């Protein structure tokens, strides 16, 4: 069997995702115009906040362009073609692809050559196979002998046509559409296609907002909590003012930091809680953890940061995703400020040390011309 590559998902638009993440600013000082007022929860546009909390909801054409220009597209020979114009690695045999079946977990060490290997699903892996599909079984000439290798957009369509259904069947209808796992596909690669191989492997994987399939997971998806959460202390990278959904070292520029995870199932046990109820509970939980995480009740104010969280909708709740992260960062009109350093210690925001607001929450106005100086 010849070389293969992973086709990572470019999720189609979901109008119900055009919601907003919740933000709570604890600053006592009067904010600048358009900033959230003290202690008031506000809603920011989805493309500014939810972008890093959920998989990016973009059309296939836009996603293909973004993947090509930012993260490198998938060549016919390898996974990560960082230089789309360069020559891809030579074709090679890989029996793992040809023998991978439903329930197998796969990993690789080289994203360009995709040296697939099967591993125990209890160990770290990158892809869990949900179905192997032979496209030649479908009627029509498109996948017949001698036909041209499909382009990336056609493979994205095939993934949407076949792999979402396969994932739902594999999980008994319990795939969280807003969870941390997304549907992917591995195709046989162009050399194998030209030799007559028409099989593809559908699967589930973790994918960043920029389309990279480099995040490992352990355990089978059906046994995992699909909530889109990260471990406390994790910092999420930033690119063009937007989160990448990829963990980075907190000494590197990042959009926000994870303070804790909250299981809403411990508070709500009679159906999906309304967003307003989620917000009230999360505001209390996140404000409480912020004091201890950041080092004191005034740390959030002095570092000019904001705590925020997402909401869980009915679709996610019904399949068992009940957890949310308490996050800390700094929102802007264009998305997020770039932070370096852990929020537990000293930080830089957009290259500058944060300036704490006046302790009384008010600034002393300049004296009027001719007025006596204020008494000290």
Q: Kindly give, in sequence order, each residue whose CB lies less than 8 Å from that of residue 221, ignoring residues fewer than 6 positions away.
A: 128, 171, 181, 204
* Whether the predicted pLDDT of 58 surpasses 60: no
Distance CA 112, CA 5 (A): 8
pLDDT at 123: 95
pLDDT at 249: 96
Q: What is the mean pLDDT of residues 51-75?
A: 28
pLDDT at 68: 27
For the chain, helix, strand, coil in percent to 5 are: 25, 20, 55
Which one is predicted more confidently, 283 or 30? 283
Which of the 8 DSSP states describes residue 198? -
Average pLDDT, the chain: 76
Q: Kindly give, in sequence order, each residue whose CB lies less than 8 Å from that of residue 197, ignoring residues fewer than 6 positions away.
A: 1, 2, 98, 188
Q: What is the mean pLDDT of residues 64-88?
A: 28
Question: Most distant CA pair in the chain: distance in Å?
Answer: 93
Residue 304 contacts residue 330 (beta carbons within 8 Å): yes
* Whether the predicted pLDDT of 244 surpasses 80: yes
How is residue 336 written in tokens?
Answer: 């997020």
Polymer length of the chain: 376
pLDDT at 24: 54
Q: How confident is the model at residue 53 (pLDDT cuts 50, 70, 90)?
A: very low
Q: What is the mean pLDDT of residues 358-374?
A: 54
Q: pTM for the full model?
A: 0.68
pLDDT at 375: 53
Q: What is the mean pLDDT of residues 24-51?
A: 37
Distance CA 191, CA 58 (A): 30
- The rounded percent of the chain whose pLDDT value lies above 70 is 68
Distance CA 51, CA 43 (A): 14
Q: What is the mean pLDDT of residues 284-310?
A: 93
Q: How confident is the model at residue 160 (pLDDT cuts 50, 70, 90)?
A: very high
Q: How confident is the model at residue 360 (pLDDT cuts 50, 70, 90)?
A: low
The number of C-alpha atoms within 13 Å of 135 and in the hemisphere containing its C-beta is 29
* Whether the predicted pLDDT of 184 surpasses 60: yes
* Whether the predicted pLDDT of 135 surpasses 70: yes
Determine phi and psi for 206, rounding to 5 degrees.
Answer: -100, 130
pLDDT at 300: 93
pLDDT digits (tens, 9 = 90+) for 308-352: 999 999 999 999 999 999 999 999 888 999 999 999 999 999 999
């Amino acid at each position: 069997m010849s070389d293969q590559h992973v086709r990572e998902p470019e999720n189609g638009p979901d109008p119900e995702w055009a919601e907003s993440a919740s933000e709570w600013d604890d600053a006592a000082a009067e904010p600048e115009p358009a900033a959230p007022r003290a202690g008031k929860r506000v809603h920011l546009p989805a493309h500014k906040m939810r972008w890093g909390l959920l998989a990016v909801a973009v059309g296939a054409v836009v996603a293909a362009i973004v993947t090509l220009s930012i993260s490198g597209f998938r060549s016919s020979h390898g996974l990560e073609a960082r230089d789309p114009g360069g020559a891809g690695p030579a074709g090679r045999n890989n029996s793992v692809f040809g023998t991978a079946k439903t329930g197998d977990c796969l990993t690789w060490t080289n994203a360009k050559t995709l040296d697939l290997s099967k591993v125990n699903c209890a160990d770290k892996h990158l892809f869990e196979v949900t179905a192997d599909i032979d496209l030649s079984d479908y009627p029509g000439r498109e996948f017949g002998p001698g036909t041209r290798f499909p382009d990336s957009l056609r493979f994205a369509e095939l993934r949407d046509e076949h792999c979402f259904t396969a994932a739902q069947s594999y999980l008994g209808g319990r795939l969280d559409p807003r969870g941390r796992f997304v549907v992917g596909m591995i195709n046989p690669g162009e050399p194998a296609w030209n030799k007559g191989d028409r099989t593809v492997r559908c699967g589930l994987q973790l994918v960043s907002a920029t389309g990279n399939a480099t995040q490992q997971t352990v355990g089978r998806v059906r046994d995992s909590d699909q909530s889109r959460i990260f471990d406390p202390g994790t910092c999420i990278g930033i690119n063009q003012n937007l989160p990448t959904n990829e963990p980075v070292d907190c000494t590197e520029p990042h959009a926000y930091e994870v303070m804790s995870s909250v299981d809403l199932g411990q508070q709500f046990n009679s159906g999906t809680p309304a967003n307003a109820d989620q917000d009230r509970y999360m505001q209390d939980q996140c404000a409480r953890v912020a004091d201890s995480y950041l080092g004191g009740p005034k740390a959030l104010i002095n570092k000019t940061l904001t705590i925020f969280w997402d909401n869980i909708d009915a679709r996610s709740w019904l399949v068992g995703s009940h957890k949310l992260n308490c996050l800390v960062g700094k929102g802007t009109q264009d998305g997020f400020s770039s932070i370096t350093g852990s929020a537990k210690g000293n930080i830089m925001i957009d290259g500058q040390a944060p300036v704490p607001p006046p302790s009384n929450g008010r600034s002393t106005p300049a004296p009027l011309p001719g007025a006596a100086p204020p008494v000290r």
